[in-house]
């Protein structure tokens, strides 16, 4: 079996080489994205692997894949929002994703942001870099004395709750579809308002659906405890940036840790690119980036050795399953719907 992996980056390459060896498959690796020109690189391949998709494929790509008799694709991420299932079905192409590559990777990152902000590590680091070794004004807070709110207790939220629990914190979880069994890890909140009213840290772990847009807004911030720390490793639009900035300026919000950010289309989704010397057009980003109590990370919560290994391993297995069994448990969007 011969596959091609588009947008294969240097961190993934060793995993592709190991996987090709282990499974006895051949991989062509290219850093190019899949488009009308680069689709020709797939000639003679049995399947295509692509990385996180930032834009839709042109119809010509699907048409050419059909001409080349390539029927199977996989993405190496959970998200597949840019896939046009109408075109996929029209050209007889089937696609799978990697639904969970390492929930603990994102959970650990969320806790890292929370801990760093609670211990004012950005301020301490900036002082040390300037050879300012004073302690005053950088008093931290202890997680074991806090109530932590987990919004969305799915794969990642549950792992995050476990880690916070390990620090000795009281953990409160809210989910409109609550788990039947919390395994003693967290207490179920009756609604989101209970999270807002009770929690010292609020960590978001729900999906990007229209109802969740601006889940954190002026009204919800008003209901929160003074000095609350907000962590977002889920999706940028969950937070109304203007309301967040106002809350931080008024010191209602104590700190924010943002692995994802809504750039409002101004500058687009910049994460993943080198922007040195370029202007970042998002005013919301510029308002927040220099604040000592705001930590940005560029959508890297998932980026661990374990997660990358799983992304490459599971996506390879997806293509092999399609070819060997004619089906794949991670297939998405059969007849236009999504799983």
Sites of contact with ligand NAD (CB under 6 A): 78, 100, 106, 151-157, 174-177, 205-208, 212, 215, 233-235, 259-260, 299, 301-302
Q: Output 47 or 152, the one with its CB closest to ligand NAD.
A: 152
42: how many CB neighbours lie within 10 A of its CB? 23
Nearer to ligand NAD, 34 or 107 (CB): 107
Give the shortest CB-50-to-ligand NAD separation in angstroms: 17
**Cα 16–Cα 21–Cα 23 angle in degrees, nearest 5:** 90
Beta bridge partners of 2: 26
Q: Give the closest residue to 72 by CA, choosing from 129, 2, 130.
A: 2
The total of other beta-carbon atoms located within 10 Å of residue 74's CB is 31
Nearer CB in complex with ligand NAD: 4/156? 156
CB nearer ligand NAD, residue 155 or residue 281: 155
Q: How far apart are CA 124 and CA 77, in angstroms?
A: 35
Name the minimum Å distance from CB 192 to ligand NAD.
6
146/201 Cα distance (integer angstroms):
8
| Closer residue to ligand NAD in complex, CB, 3/158 | 158
In the complex, the smallest distance separating the C-beta of residue 297 from ligand NAD, rounded to whole angstroms, is 9
Report the alpha-carbon distance of residue 225 to residue 247 in Å, rounded. 11
Distance CA 246, CA 224 (A): 14
Report the nearest approach of ligand NAD to the CB of residue 307 (Å). 8
Q: Nearest distance from residue 205's CB to ligand NAD, in Å? A: 5
Q: Are 110 and 201 in contact (CB under 8 A)?
A: no
Residue nearest to ligand NAD (CB): 154
| Shorter beta-carbon distance to ligand NAD: residue 53 or 93 | 53
| Least Å from the CB of residue 139 to ligand NAD | 29
What b/e sequence results for 109-123 when a residue is b if at least 16 CB atoms lie within 10 Å of its CB, and e otherwise? bbbbbbbbbbbbbbb
């Amino acid at each position: 079996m011969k596959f091609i992996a588009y947008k294969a980056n240097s961190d993934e390459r060793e995993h592709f080489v190991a996987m090709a060896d282990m499974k006895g498959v051949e991989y062509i690796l290219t850093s190019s994205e899949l488009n009308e020109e680069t689709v020709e690189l797939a000639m003679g391949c049995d399947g295509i692997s692509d990385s996180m998709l930032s834009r839709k494929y042109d119809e010509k790509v699907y048409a050419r894949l059909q001409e080349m008799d390539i029927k199977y694709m996989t993405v190496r991420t959970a998200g597949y929002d840019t896939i046009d299932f109408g075109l996929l079905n029209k050209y007889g192409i089937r696609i799978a994703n990697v639904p969970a590559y390492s929930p603990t990777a994102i959970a650990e990152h969320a806790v890292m942001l929370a801990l760093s902000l609670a211990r004012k590590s950005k301020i301490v680091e900036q002082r040390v870099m300037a050879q300012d070794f004073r302690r005053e004004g950088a008093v931290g807070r202890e997680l074991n004395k806090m109530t932590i709110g987990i919004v969305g207790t799915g794969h990642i939220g549950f792992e995050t709750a476990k880690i916070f629990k390990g620090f000795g914190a009281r953990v409160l979880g809210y989910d409109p579809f609550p788990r039947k069994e919390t395994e003693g890890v967290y207490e179920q909140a009756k609604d989101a308002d209970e999270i807002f009213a009770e929690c010292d840290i609020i960590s978001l772990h729900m999906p990007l659906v229209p109802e969740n847009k601006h889940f954190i807004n002026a009204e919800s911030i008003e209901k929160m405890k003074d000095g609350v720390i907000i962590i977002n490793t889920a999706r940028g639009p969950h937070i109304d940036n203007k309301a967040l900035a106002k809350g931080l300026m008024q010191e209602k919000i104590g700190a924010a840790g943002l692995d994802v950010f809504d750039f409002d289309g101004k500058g687009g989704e910049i994460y993943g690119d080198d922007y040195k010397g370029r202007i970042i057009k998002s005013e919301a980003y510029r308002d927040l980036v220099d604040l000592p109590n705001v930590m940005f990370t560029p959508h890297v919560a998932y980026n661990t050795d374990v997660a990358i290994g799983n992304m490459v391993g599971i996506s390879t297995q997806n293509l092999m399953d399609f070819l060997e069994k004619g089906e794949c448990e991670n297939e998405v969007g059969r007849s236009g719907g999504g799983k």
